[in-house]
Structures are given as structure tokens and as C-alpha cells.
Copies of this chain bind each other. A is one copy, B any other.
Amino acid sequence: MAATIKDVAKMAGVAVSTVSYALNNSPKISEETRRKVVKAAEALSYRPSGAARNLKKRKSETIGLFLNDLGGPFYSQVIEGVQEVVASHDYNLIVCSTYGGENSSANRFLREKFVDGAIIMGSAIPDSLILQVAAESFPIVVLDRELKADYVHSVLIMNEQGAYDAVKHLIKLGRRKIEFLSGPLAAYDNSKRYEGYKRALKEHNLPVPAKISMQGRYLEAGGYQAVKVMLAGNRLPDAIFAANDEMAIGAIRALREGGVRVPEDIAVVGFDNISLGPFVRPTLTTIGHSKYEMGAIATQLVFNVQKDENSIMLPTQLVIRQSCGFKQQNDDQDETSILHEGRRGLG
């Protein structure tokens, strides 16, 4: 049905190989034949088959970015960073959801070598699959996840230190009973953030709660619910450190509805510095990290394949707004931030 390179060749009265060279702008072809070929191709509205091309060339010139859910407010900047670097290498980028388990699109694409390299964020792709497919010809970079293997690199955030900074900041502001609003217990970043929370309490001789009392699955509604439940209890904390911003925002909503003043009665600090932060009331104090840079660096790593695994640690940054109760003289649009230097280099 659709025209192939053979049809173009026939119409232009030349060999198939000539068409190929001509359309790929090879210098071997004379201008005259090139014109003939292009004309024929247009007349037949010829579209080359990417599949055939990739098969023959044994590469797709495409990088895959695999995410848990394409929608999250968090990802968009990461994507931008990836996009930029991929484009600068004249490669294509496809973004794909990891949703769907065993035979999700992501799994299929990883297995079937649709892409020449992959960047993986989120936990839906099991370590085993990554280990299976990573190879010199197929480098993989994992984001915010520890995984060591040949041709697997990782870009990490200083989760522990960031959480530590957040909690320490609350302590410095005089808060003594600080609760941890947890994300999924199985999540890597959540557990790191929990570690940082505990370290800060310990180092300041504050009691560490025996167990996690609030869980919000990293969702706004989850934070809201967890805090609703908390409010029904009797002994309220004077601060909440949420493992991500969505939950922090849900927490603030629940507190407000319960007549609790934020930050006067209970201070709230989140993590991730999502773009919504400056818009909620009170504006959200949080731990930021450079998402664009994360994407860009990850992509660089994909292009600089190296056998030994290599991990890069990105710094975090305390972003002080209103919800922590820090007294500022300036307008609420302004914000202060304290950079926590990270280190970059071999893992």
C-alpha cells in the first residue's frame, strides 16, 4: 500500500541504494539525481520506515525516560533537563509511563531495545529487570534510587541531609515535638528522609518517636487524612515534617480546617519544593533540589557510558517561607534559602 524505497527507486529510474544515499544527503550523489529522487519521493508521499532503519543501523537514536506517572508536578522540570540534553545530542526522547506492571509499555520498551539508553525514575521497574538489560550498548541511569551495577549510573538527592536540615531548622525555631508525616514506607527516598529526621532529633537530644504515626502515601489527600486522624488524638505536636510537599499541603489544609493555626500552633515543612509551594497559604517552607539539573546530569551520564557504576549526589537547599514560622520582615513573595553543598563524584 504505502510507498517504499523500492517504489521511489522505480519511479525515479534509479537503484534502491541511490535513493537511500540521495535522501540521506550523501555527497556521492549528483545534484541532478538527487532532485529526481526527491521529486519521486514527494510524488509518492514516501515515508521511510523507522523500523527498517533502526533494524539495519542497530540503533534508534532515541533515549527513553521512564516515569511512574507522567502527571506529577515534580517531574516536569526533570523532563525539561533531560529533553534539553537529549536534543543537544541530536537524539530523540520518548517519555513513557511505568504504570502497568509486568507488561507495561516501559517493560516492553526496555526489553525490546526500542531505545538506546534509559533514564528511570520511580520504583515500578524492578532492579532485576534493570540489571538484566543494562549493557555497554544500553546504559541506564536511575534517578533517586541506589543501584550499583555495570553500566548503571545513579543520580541521587541528599535526602538524608536535606531532611536533617529541615528538622534542625524547626528545632532552632523552638519546636520540640516534631512529627514525621511519612510517604510509602517502602520508598527509598522516604526512608532516607526519615533517617535524616531521626538524626536531627537525636543530635539535639529530643526523643525520637518509637514508630511512624502518620502516613500519607505521598499524596495531598493522604497528608490531609493523616492529619485529620492526628487531630482526633489528644497530644498534638508543635511541628510536622512531611516527606514531600504534596502531603505537607494536605496537612496544612487539614490543620486549617481543624482550627489550628499554621505556623503559630503547628509549623509545617515539606520536601521537594514543588512549584505550588509559593502559592498555598501559608506559603510552604520546604527542602529544594534542582530538578532540571537532575534531569540534565542524568542524561549526560547516559551519553557518557562507562562500565563502572558511577553515582552523583545532588545538594539540597532549605527554602524558608511562611509555614515554618520563621519571622521575616519582608513580603511574603520573598524567600530565603540556605544552600547545603553536595558533593559530586564517584560513588
Chain A residues close to B by CB (< 8 Å): 1-2, 45, 47-55, 60, 62, 69-73, 75-77, 79-80, 83, 87, 92-97, 99-100, 105, 108-109, 111-114, 132-133, 135, 137, 249, 253, 257, 276, 279-281, 333
Copies in the complex: 2
Asked whether A87 and B71 contact (CB < 8 A) given A2-B137, A51-B54, A279-B279, the answer is no
Question: Which chain B positions have C-beta within 8 A of A52?
Answer: 51, 55
* Other-chain contact of A95, B95, B99, B114 (Cβ < 8 Å): B95
* Other-chain contact of A97, B83, B114, B280 (Cβ < 8 Å): B83
B70, A73: Cβ atoms under 8 Å?
no
B76, A70: Cβ atoms under 8 Å?
yes
B96, A49: Cβ atoms under 8 Å?
no
A47, B1: Cβ atoms under 8 Å?
no
Question: Which chain B positions have C-beta within 8 A of A1?
Answer: 137
Q: How far is the CB of A81 from chain B (nearest CB, A)?
A: 10
Q: How far is the CB of A94 from chain B (nearest CB, A)?
A: 4
CA distance A80 to B68 in the complex (A): 12
Known: A51-B113, A70-B95. 19 other contacts (CB 8 A): A47-B133, A50-B108, A51-B52, A51-B54, A52-B55, A69-B80, A70-B70, A71-B76, A71-B80, A87-B105, A92-B105, A92-B109, A93-B97, A93-B105, A94-B105, A249-B279, A257-B333, A276-B279, A281-B281
CA distance A50 to B111 in the complex (A): 8
B2, A112: Cβ atoms under 8 Å?
no
CA distance A72 to B75 in the complex (A): 10
Asked whether A76 and B72 contact (CB < 8 A) given A96-B93, A132-B45, the answer is yes
B108, A49: Cβ atoms under 8 Å?
no
A113, B50: Cβ atoms under 8 Å?
yes
Question: Which chain B positions have C-beta within 8 A of A133?
Answer: 47
Q: How far is the CB of A62 from chain B (nearest CB, A)?
A: 8
Question: Which chain B positions have C-beta within 8 A of A49?
Answer: 55, 112-113
Residue from the set A55, A77, A257 with the largest chain B CB neighbour count within 10 Å: A55
A70, B83: Cβ atoms under 8 Å?
yes
Asked whether A51 and B60 contact (CB < 8 A) given A76-B72, A95-B95, A95-B96, the answer is yes
Asked whether A55 and B51 contact (CB < 8 A) given A109-B92, A279-B280, the answer is yes
CA distance A289 to B99 in the complex (A): 25
Question: Which chain B positions have C-beta within 8 A of A75?
Answer: 71
CA distance A333 to B97 in the complex (A): 32
A51, B51: Cβ atoms under 8 Å?
yes
Q: How far is the CB of A126 from chain B (nearest CB, A)?
A: 15
Q: How far is the CB of A179 from chain B (nearest CB, A)?
A: 23
Asked whether A50 and B112 contact (CB < 8 A) given A92-B96, A99-B87, A279-B280, the answer is yes
B47, A112: Cβ atoms under 8 Å?
yes
